Amino acid sequence: MPSGPLRENGRVVLITGATAGLGRHIAGRLATPGTTLLLHGRDPAALHDLGAILKDKGATVHTYRADLASLDEVRDLGRSVRDRHHRIDVLINNAGVGPGAEGAGRESSKDGHELRFAVGYLAPYVFTRLLLPALRCSAAARVINVGSAAQSEIDHDDPEMTASYHGWVAYSRTKLALASFSRDLADELKPYRIAVNCVHPADLMDTALVRDTGLAPQSTVAQGGDAVLALMSQPFTEAGTGGYYNGLERAEPHEDVQDAVKRRRLREMTERLLSGR
Decide if 171 is catalytic. yes
The amino acid present at 84, given as its one-letter code, is: R
Beta-strand ranges (E) seen in 66-215 are: 90-93, 142-146, 195-200
Distance, in Å, from the CA atom of 246 to the CA atom of 265, rounded to the nearest integer, reads 25
Half-sphere exposure of 21 (CA within 13 A, CB side): 25
Give the active site residue among 171, 192, 244, 245.
Answer: 171
* Count of beta carbons in the 10 Å neighbourhood of residue 153: 13
Half-sphere exposure of 43 (CA within 13 A, CB side): 8
Distance, in Å, from the CA atom of 153 to the CA atom of 211, rounded to the nearest integer, reads 25
DSSP 8-state symbol, 84: H
Distance, in Å, from the CA atom of 130 to the CA atom of 132, rounded to the nearest integer, reads 6
Catalytically active residues, by annotation: 171
